[in-house]
């Protein structure tokens, strides 16, 4: 009981010293902390230094005229040999003797203190905590996803993540319209008021032409996460929505098309994507290069076999990606060539064709299966997470549109007042 009572008194003393406005230290009594700090500054001179590239602790001590400090303390300074550019160093020198009493090193990740305590020299380091910051950002498409997202404060890396997440369901070149909506639930880490690394998309919603698409991040194995829809199906499909960023489709899959150069009607079993010369072309899915070279009217031409069933071809290229050759394995989204007008072409475009079991099919009218799904044993956990994420997206969307409506009312009121004044 005596020991417990002693610990309680010690804690009470700590609270008295560090929390309450009257600061009490053995042998001293200050009316408030400001007088204590004033007295401290009367005793010590502080020198501040921001570490530059190439600095060593010895260079800094010499530059500040502190090399006269006793040898024992100087040897102890080796503890600070890990200083980095941008670190802040504070040196405390006792005015009465000129002795260096303490050094503080401050950076975004930790604080280090090296000081005298009576006859001893002590060193300790305090790690600064990492804080998880989560936020919901919503917006409306005004021109395109990139510009509209940036205006709401979303970083470019998150915009690219969104386009990757929804790439199999939304064609961001042609599907988006003014008034379409987006909501993103982000997670990021911060320390000392600074963000660390890039934000992670925990959940996202796109409303395109009235149709809602949602994606949620989930780790089925620790450290291995992916994005899934509300039913637990992967957002990733076997193939991309399109093999490039294009301006328009100049010719569709048809059994009868008038050829602009040959001046005859004949089948066109592909899709012509009009795009500027040099636009990168990506492999539609994982596969192996079956042909790369010149092929008659197709000009520079690539064929990729994805598996025993599916094959794609890419024609009229201006050039091939460096290192591309027959037998090389390529990944979905990997750049394989660039738009051109080689062969029988009236202008720069990509002639893209898709084959199933050797037969050309209309890729634009084909719905592809999901790459994988969440195991049934984990669906209950996933759905519980989804409910929380959906709630966050709903609230963020409501706040954004309530704010937008208020802003429009304010603008309308100002305009009406201005007209009355005129």
Which is more confident, 340 or 29?
340
The reply to whether 17-127 and 129-237+371-404 are identical in fold is yes
pLDDT at site 15: 37
Separation CA 350–CA 353 (nearest Å): 10
- According to DSSP, the β-strands at 310-320 and 349-356 are antiparallel
Neighbouring residues of 272: CB distance < 8 A, sequence distance ≥ 6? 249, 250, 251, 252, 349, 350, 351, 352
What burial letters (b/e) apply to 318-330, b meaning 16+ CB within 10 Å? bebbeebeeeeeb
Closest CA to 387 of 185, 138, 200: 185
Separation CA 146–CA 156 (nearest Å): 7
CATH architecture for the domain at 17-127: Roll (3.10)
> SS3 helix, strand, coil % of the chain, rounded to 5?
25, 40, 35
CA 163 remoteness from chain centre: 12
Neighbouring residues of 294: CB distance < 8 A, sequence distance ≥ 6? 300, 301, 342, 343
| Ranges of each domain in the chain | 17-127, 129-237+371-404, 248-365
Neighbouring residues of 72: CB distance < 8 A, sequence distance ≥ 6? 121
| Superfamily of segment(s) 248-365 | Glucose Permease (Domain IIA) (2.70.70.10)
Q: In the structure, how many helices (H) and strands (E) does the chain have? A: 7, 24
Which range among 112-121, 154-163, 279-288, 330-339 shows the weakest confidence by mean pLDDT?
112-121
Closest CA to 79 of 121, 18, 139, 117: 121
Q: How many CB atoms lie within 10 A of CB 228?
A: 23
- According to DSSP, the β-strands at 224-228 and 265-268 are unpaired
- According to DSSP, the β-strands at 254-258 and 265-268 are antiparallel
pLDDT at site 6: 45
How does pLDDT run across 71-119, given as a tens digit for each residue? 777 777 877 777 888 888 888 888 877 778 888 888 777 788 888 887 7
How does pLDDT run across 230-260, given as a tens digit for each residue? 989 888 877 887 888 775 676 664 555 545 6
> Is the CB of residue 99 less than 8 Å from the CB of residue 67?
no
Separation CA 81–CA 301 (nearest Å): 59
Which is more confident, 127 or 337?
337
Is residue 14 over pLDDT 50?
no
- Which whole number is the average pLDDT over 308-315? 94
pLDDT at site 409: 57
Determine the 3-state secondary structure of 40 from DSSP.
helix
> Is the CB of residue 182 less than 8 Å from the CB of residue 199?
no
Closest CA to 205 of 132, 140, 134, 156: 140
CB-based contacts of 303-307 (< 8 A; 24+ apart in sequence): 304/330, 304/336, 306/238, 306/239
Domain 129-237+371-404 adopts which CATH fold? Nuclear Transport Factor 2; Chain: A, (3.10.450)
pLDDT at site 20: 36
């Amino acid at each position: 009981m005596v020991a417990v009572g002693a610990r309680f008194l010690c804690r009470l003393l700590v609270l008295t010293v560090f929390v309450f406005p009257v600061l009490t230290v053995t042998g001293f009594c200050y009316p408030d902390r400001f007088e204590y700090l004033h007295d401290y500054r009367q005793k010590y001179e502080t020198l501040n230094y921001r570490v530059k590239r190439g600095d060593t602790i010895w260079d800094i001590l010499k530059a500040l005229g502190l090399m006269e400090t006793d040898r024992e303390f100087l040897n102890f300074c080796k503890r600070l040999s890990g200083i980095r550019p941008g670190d802040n160093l504070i040196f405390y020198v006792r005015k009465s003797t000129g002795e260096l009493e303490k050094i503080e090193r401050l950076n975004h990740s930790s604080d280090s203190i090296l000081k005298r305590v009576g006859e001893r020299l002590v060193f300790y380091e305090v790690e600064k905590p990492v804080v998880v910051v989560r936020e919901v950002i919503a917006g409306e498409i005004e021109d395109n996803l990139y510009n509209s997202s940036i205006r709401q404060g979303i970083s470019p890396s998150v915009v690219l993540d969104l386009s990757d997440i929804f790439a199999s369901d939304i064609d961001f070149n042609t599907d988006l319209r003014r008034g379409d909506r987006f909501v993103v639930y982000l997670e990021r880490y911060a320390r000392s008021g600074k963000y660390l690394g890039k934000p992670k998309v925990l959940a996202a919603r796109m409303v395109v032409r009235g149709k809602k698409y949602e994606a949620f991040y989930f780790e089925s194995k620790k450290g291995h996460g992916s994005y899934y829809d509300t039913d637990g199906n992967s957002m990733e499909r076997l193939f991309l929505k399109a093999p490039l960023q294009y301006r328009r489709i100049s010719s569709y899959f048809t059994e009868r098309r008038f050829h602009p150069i040959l001046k005859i009607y004949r089948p066109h079993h592909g899709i012509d994507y009009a795009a500027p010369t040099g636009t990168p072309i990506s492999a539609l899915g994982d596969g192996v290069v079956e042909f790369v070279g010149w092929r008659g009217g197709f000009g520079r031409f690539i064929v990729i076999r994805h598996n025993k069933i599916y094959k794609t071809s890419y024609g009229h290229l201006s050039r091939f990606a460096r290192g591309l050759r027959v037998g090389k394995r390529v990944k979905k989204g990997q750049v394989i060539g660039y738009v051109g007008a080689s062969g029988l072409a009236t202008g720069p475009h990509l002639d893209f064709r898709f084959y199933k079991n050797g037969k050309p099919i209309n890729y634009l009218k084909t719905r592809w299966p999901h790459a994988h799904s969440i195991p049934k044993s984990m669906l209950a956990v996933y759905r519980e997470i989804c409910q929380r994420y959906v709630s966050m997206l709903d609230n963020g969307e409501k706040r954004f549109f309530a704010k937008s409506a208020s802003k429009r009312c304010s603008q309308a009121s100002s305009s009406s007042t201005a007209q009355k004044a005129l």
